[in-house]
Structure 1
Amino acid sequence: MSRRVPVIGDGERRARVGRRHLLVPSGRVARVEAAADAVVGLHATDAATVYLSACARLAEPSVAEVERALYEDVSLVKLLSMRRTIFAVTEELAPYVASSTARVIAARERAGLLKHLQQHAVGWDEARLAATERKVLAALERRGEATTKELGDDVPELREQMLMSAGKPYENKQSVGSRVLRLLAADGHVRRGRPRGSWLSSNYPWAPVRQWPDVPVREAKAELVRRWLASYGPATVEDVKWWTGWTLGDTRKALVDVGAEDVELSGGVAALVLPGDVEAVAEPEPWAALLPGLDPTMMGWRGRDWYLRPEDVPALFDRAGNAGPTVWWCGRVVGGWAQRPDGELVWRLFVDVGAEAEAAIGAEAARLAGWLGEVRVTPRFRTPLERELVAK
């Protein structure tokens, strides 16, 4: 007789999100490292997302706590990794992310940069690129940290220009330095330092990175999937493949390596969890959250119908699939929010959530506005609803 596959419904999935992603008020934590590990990594393509996502999960949100981890203890590091997206992950997890994902992306970045240099710059080949990288790392060792412009004083090759988007209406020139430093960061040799200005500034120096231990690729992939399923399971194979950016073969191999067990979602959809992770979590207290654009919870799954109505997608995503700021109530996306130029936080709800939910959402907005203070945040990837709310 065949074994009955456990069923995990949408309500249970939403309860898991509240508890495991630290969005329930009683589950908030003191340290940003715990917040990052709870969602595996914080999206960092938009610098503001790291702070906003972390503070949504901190008992006492503060910019200083995030900066401590990023720039003082360096216990949180940014890597160009899953789906060619920048993630801020804990230093403990970084070797696994580097081996499973980041190094492959770095190799592609290197090949792409070398090809572009050979086509659109003068006198560049693999040997010259490698020599330039060595000079940059030596300069950083002497300086401790420096911006790309400052490094150009030590390494003149960085000041050379290359043509971008040749023949297009938006054709422009870009310094070699910006691409070389991006490559060194992707390879795990340098990291972004504390910005010169506010925490939203894009004027940041680079600093050397202590090299991490080498982890075998298969072991690294299994560990990343294990952590992801612990935070996001149950999930489909397609969810895991989409989030990691791996091939279907590598995804399936990693799921086998962690011993993932079959479950069934609402509607009879096949999914997977870690071994034994089929018991229901305790029902959390009602919770509201204002999450930023690209928050890891919003971007956690390819299949989103169990927490996001399909008819709300056009308002909340840009054309490239980047999510904007969202309002959550008990594991569902119920609206979107924005910050106006005068600092006012405004939101729109797509459904009638009731008086209790509206009060909780208002309290979360006040909590967010309180720690933002005079800071004004504009998402890097702007969505139709966010633009509309700001304009009114």
Structure 2
Amino acid sequence: MTRQPPFLSDEARRSRLARRHLLGPAHRATTVEQVTEALVGLHASDPATVYLTACARLAKPSAAAVDRALYEDVTLVKLLSMRRTLFAVTEEFAPYVSSSTARAIAVKERATLVKHLREGAEGWDEARLAAAEQAALAALAARGEATTAELSLDVPALRETILMSPGKPYEARQSVGSRLLRLLASDGHVRRCRPRGSWLSSSYPWALVPQWPELPVREAKAEVVRRWLAAYGPATVEDVKWWTGWTLGDTRKALADLGAVQVGLSNGPGLALPGDEHDEHDEHDERDDSDGEPWAALLPALDPTMMGWRGRDWYLDPAHVPALFDRAGNAGPTLWWRGRVVGGWAQRADGELAWRLLADLGAEAEPARRAITAEAERLAGWLDGIRVTPRFRTPLERELVS
């Protein structure tokens, strides 16, 4: 008789979020590096997300602690990687992300930039691009750190522009420098330094970085998936493929290299790391997922927990997607109660935090409101008047601030 794989209920998966994603009050971290390791990587397309994501999970929230990890100790680095998205990962994990994903993206970025230069700028080819790169790196080495505009003073070629989408209604010009520095970052030659301005700023200088060791691609992919399954598993093959942005073949190969085991999920067959099909906590009542205390959380736009899976029905009601996501699929700020997304929040112009429940919580509505209110006060406390607007606006977030 064929043995059926273990089944993990939606309740068990939601219970894991309190512990593995450090969302239950009893499970919060003491360092930014611990948060980053627990989530594998922090979404960094919006500068504010890294800070809000980390502080939501720190026992003592501190923007200064995130600053220190990113720009002083440099224990976190940002890489254009999974799904061609900017992630902050630990310095120790960065070589695996680079070899498995970022370097392949850099190859495509280079080909795309060469194509755009040939079509939208005069006198550019691969040889001139390579010369401009070397000149930019030399200028950066001399300066120590510099913005793209500052480097353009030393390397005039960076001031030239590319006409993007010529002839289209949305045609626009971009500086060669902005594209070239992004390419150098993708290749692992440079990193973003402390922004000029507050931690919300997108204006930052660049600095050279030591080259990471080049790991075998297959080994690096297996390690990325191992860490992801430890944090987000069990999950479907489609979830892993979506999160990494890899081909289906590469995804399946990495899962096979890990010896991932089959489990049953409410949305079909899933996979888990060997030994992780069962968890002693999974059999507990869902209400005991945070050492006996039901938990609430206010998570920011693009938070890794919200964006962790392609299949989200086990924690997100599909009816709430239009309010909480923009048209490109970017998640806005969300309210969580015991492992489910139950609403959204926003910060108004005067700094006040506004939130709205979208889910009918029945008898749990009042305890959920009290817990969410407490979390909102905790968030407002460490923000201390700083105003945060998500880079990717969603319908509910816009409505709450209007």
- TM-score class, shorter: over 0.9
| 1:380 counterpart residue number | 391
The answer to whether residue 308 in structure 2 is matched with residue 300 in structure 1 is: yes
CA offsets per residue over residues 170-213 of structure 1, 9 Å max, x none? 22211100000010011111111001110111111001111111
Q: CA deviation at 1:3?
A: 2.2
Q: In 2, distance between residues paired with 1:256 and 1:52?
A: 35
Aligned AA (1:69): A
Q: CA deviation at 1:167?
A: 1.3
Q: CA deviation at 1:373?
A: 1.1
| 1:140 counterpart residue number | 140
Matches within 5 A, 1:222-261: 222-261=222-261
Matches within 5 A, 1:213-224: 213-224=213-224
> Measured at CA, do residues 188 and 281 of structure 1 come closer, stay the same or move farther in structure 2, by a change above 3 Å?
farther
> Measured at CA, do residues 37 and 351 of structure 1 come closer, stay the same or move farther in structure 2, by a change above 3 Å?
same
Aligned AA (2:27): G
Q: In 1, distance between residues paired with 2:171 and 2:318?
A: 37
Q: CA deviation at 1:281?
A: 4.5
| 1:172 counterpart residue number | 172
CA offsets per residue over residues 315-371 of structure 1, 9 Å max, x none? 000000000000000100000000000000000101233211110000000000111
The answer to whether residue 358 in structure 2 is matched with residue 350 in structure 1 is: yes
| 2:193 counterpart residue number | 193
The answer to whether residue 102 in structure 2 is matched with residue 94 in structure 1 is: no
Q: Secondary structure at the match of 2:302?
A: coil
Aligned AA (1:321): G
Matches within 5 A, 1:330-369: 330-353=338-361, 354-369=365-380
CA offsets per residue over residues 274-306 of structure 1, 9 Å max, x none? 001022343323111000000000000000000
Q: In 1, distance between residues paired with 2:165 and 2:201?
A: 26
CA offsets per residue over residues 120-173 of structure 1, 9 Å max, x none? 111111111111111111111111100000000111110011111211222221
Q: In 1, distance between residues paired with 2:170 and 2:270?
A: 44
Matches within 5 A, 1:45-194: 45-194=45-194
The answer to whether residue 382 in structure 2 is matched with residue 371 in structure 1 is: yes
| 2:275 counterpart residue number | 276
Alpha carbons 1:43, 1:295 under 8 Å: kept? yes
Alpha carbons 2:161, 2:176 under 8 Å: kept? yes
Alpha carbons 1:12, 1:281 under 8 Å: kept? no
The answer to whether residue 293 in structure 2 is matched with residue 318 in structure 1 is: no
Alpha carbons 2:326, 2:393 under 8 Å: kept? yes
Q: Secondary structure at the match of 2:30?
A: coil
Q: Secondary structure at the match of 1:179?
A: helix
TM-score norm. by structure 1 comes to 0.98
Alpha carbons 1:55, 1:61 under 8 Å: kept? yes
Of 329, 335, 339, the residue aligned with 2:337 is: 329
Q: In 2, distance between residues paired with 1:74 and 1:45?
A: 18
Percent sequence identity is: 73
Alpha carbons 1:236, 1:272 under 8 Å: kept? yes
Q: Secondary structure at the match of 1:59?
A: coil
The answer to whether residue 14 in structure 2 is matched with residue 3 in structure 1 is: no
Q: In 1, distance between residues paired with 2:174 and 2:279?
A: 53
TM-score norm. by structure 2 comes to 0.96
Q: Secondary structure at the match of 2:153?
A: helix
| 1:211 counterpart residue number | 211
Gaps in structure 2 of 5+ consecutive residues: 282-288
Aligned AA (1:103): R
Aligned AA (1:132): A
Alpha carbons 2:6, 2:278 under 8 Å: kept? no
Alpha carbons 1:16, 1:281 under 8 Å: kept? no
Q: In 2, distance between residues paired with 1:373 and 1:218?
A: 45
Q: In 1, distance between residues paired with 2:399 and 2:196?
A: 31
Aligned length: 390
Q: In 2, distance between residues paired with 1:46 and 1:379?
A: 7
Q: In 2, distance between residues paired with 1:278 and 1:121?
A: 55
| 2:294 counterpart residue number | 286
| 2:284 counterpart residue number | none
Alpha carbons 1:50, 1:88 under 8 Å: kept? yes
Q: In 2, distance between residues paired with 1:2 and 1:130?
A: 59
Q: In 2, distance between residues paired with 1:314 and 1:334?
A: 14
Q: In 2, distance between residues paired with 1:103 and 1:280?
A: 36
Q: In 2, distance between residues paired with 1:254 and 1:135?
A: 39
Q: CA deviation at 1:66?
A: 0.3
Q: Secondary structure at the match of 1:355?
A: helix
Q: Secondary structure at the match of 1:7?
A: coil
Gaps in structure 1 of 5+ consecutive residues: none
Q: In 1, distance between residues paired with 2:213 and 2:401?
A: 46
> Measured at CA, do residues 356 and 149 of structure 1 come closer, stay the same or move farther in structure 2, by a change above 3 Å?
same
